[in-house]
Structure 1
Amino acid sequence: MKALFAAPNLKTAIGKRDFTLFNLIYHTATRIDEILSLTISSLNLDGKNKDCITVWGKGSKRRTIFILPEVATIIKAYIKTFHGSAPNPADFLFFSHYGGGKKKLTQAAVDKRLKLYTSIANKKCADIPKNLHSHSLRHARATHWLEEGLNIVMIQKLLGHEDINTTMGYVGVSTEQKAKALETIEDDIAKKMVKKWKRVKKTDSLVDFLGLK
């Protein structure tokens, strides 16, 4: 990932835009369309609370995603350069000038830029596939979260998946890592069971006592 993020030329405007775009996609593990649909009003970078973005996922489901301070700093610098000191809340965060006005970037355009950078990065790090696309960054972040020990249930929530099985098949991990991930689910279930046992009253049924209700 370091080789990939080092590929954009930060001396150019488009290089700065792409660097910000790909950092945000990777660090939040959001879907490409969720990022491209972001407007200035979707951001909360006032520094009073934790910095975050609000995205609309599949099924028009809204979720808030917190971002790291260093990523927030990159976004703020980008906004100042591309949107000025008084940005329009309705403007797309990432845009392209064509046909007049600030238009939403297309996924095809983003993937085209990413392939350019992967070609550059591959020369420094052969592990980077040349056919990398924007969705690959989402997969990479999910896998890295699991490798860092993040609970698989939390990863599911961060990715916006309805089914835990989708998350399990989503991350590129070994069978051993998946087994450990499943253990985290069992731990969560056990904790909830303990809490239910503590609430049991003498008048409760056996079903309640066993934590099955």
Structure 2
Amino acid sequence: MKSRFFILSIMVMFIACQMDREFDSDLEEEDDENVSITDVDEVTDSLHETFFEFEVEGGDQNSAFQDQNEGLHGIYGVSRTDANNLEGNQLNIFNCFQSINLSLPQLNQIRAATNSFSACRNSEARIYKQEFNALLNQFETERKRLVDGHQGSPASLQAELQDLRQQFREALLNLKKDYSDDLKSCLRDYVSNIKRRLNDSQWESFKNCVVD
């Protein structure tokens, strides 16, 4: 009887040890995954911030409100043409690609990833661009009204136009915030795709280049 109890006790202890090992292993895998997610999110967040970095074009007495990128500033201005010219592109992210010695297969993979990002961006930004152009037209109409109807001094007109430019900037920032999450999902997929194409050393160098 004692022998059976002893054997049973050993079996219970063995099973408990196995469960502890499996639990510890799951925690380690979860920690690794969290590190990876944080890594990708850090790069994504840094690149995404460039969406909100822009100068208002035009909007003064002699030039209309305009924007060559239809409100898609920073990383979201990347095009398929840019993807085909990674080596000679002056955009910051492509400067970072150039600094990590990509092989030819890696270059082709990054081009494909950039094309996919551009396509996702175009899909998510379709309505955003419509709203952006409507906003641009609204403020351009107001600019013309101020210029054509102004009867005060040149200085007062400049002050009114400067105020209008600031209003446009604030309205555009609010519009960007409305579409920020949708565009950012495309960007995160892009960054994840990039990471899969690089070795550990290249990824660390790329991450530091982008974040710095």
Q: TM-score range by the shorter chain?
A: under 0.3
Which protein is bigger by CA-based radius of gyration?
2
Task: From the two aligned structures, give the one with the greater strand fraction.
Answer: 1
**Which protein, 1 or 2, shows the higher relative CO under an 8 Å CA cutoff with sep ≥ 6?**
2
Alignment TM-score, normalising by the size of structure 2: 0.27
Alignment TM-score, normalising by the size of structure 1: 0.27
Task: From the two aligned structures, give the one with the greater helix fraction.
Answer: 2
